[in-house]
Amino acid sequence: MPGITREEVAHLARLSRLELKDEELDHFAEQLDAIIDAVARVGEIAADDIPPTSHPLPLTNVMRPDEVRPSLTPQEALAGAPASEEQRFKVPQILGED
């Protein structure tokens, strides 16, 4: 497979609205060619006996169980609030909503 040319890199740069210097065109052509070769090698792997996975390792849920624990009473929680109403924090109105 022929490598990516500097003209193709220049075309991609124009499409991406990137301004590249001449030496950058050659540099990126080499890099893109190496990337395309690496992707092609991955595609050549015979993996018919390997099932598709979303993650290489099994995932388990590590959440702790819900347990009732002591917490603040509404009065204690609102004690430091600048304003409260009906056991809730009162904040300035936003967006003109009622």
- Token pair of 91 as six digits: 């904040």
- Sorting pLDDT into bands at 50, 70 and 90, what band is 67? very high
- Tell me the C-alpha to C-alpha distance, in Å, between residue 34 and each of 30, 43, 49: 6, 14, 28
Could you tell me the domains of the chain? 6-43 (1.10.20)
Rounded Cα gap, residues 97 and 85, in angstroms: 17
What is the structure's pLDDT at 85? Answer: 92
What is the structure's pLDDT at 16? Answer: 94
Phi, psi of 89, deg, nearest 5: -70, 135
Res 98 pLDDT > 70: no
Contact between 29 and 6 under an 8 Å Cβ cutoff? The reply is yes
What is the structure's pLDDT at 46? Answer: 66
pLDDT digits (tens, 9 = 90+) for 3-52: 889 899 999 999 999 999 999 999 999 999 999 999 888 878 767 777 77
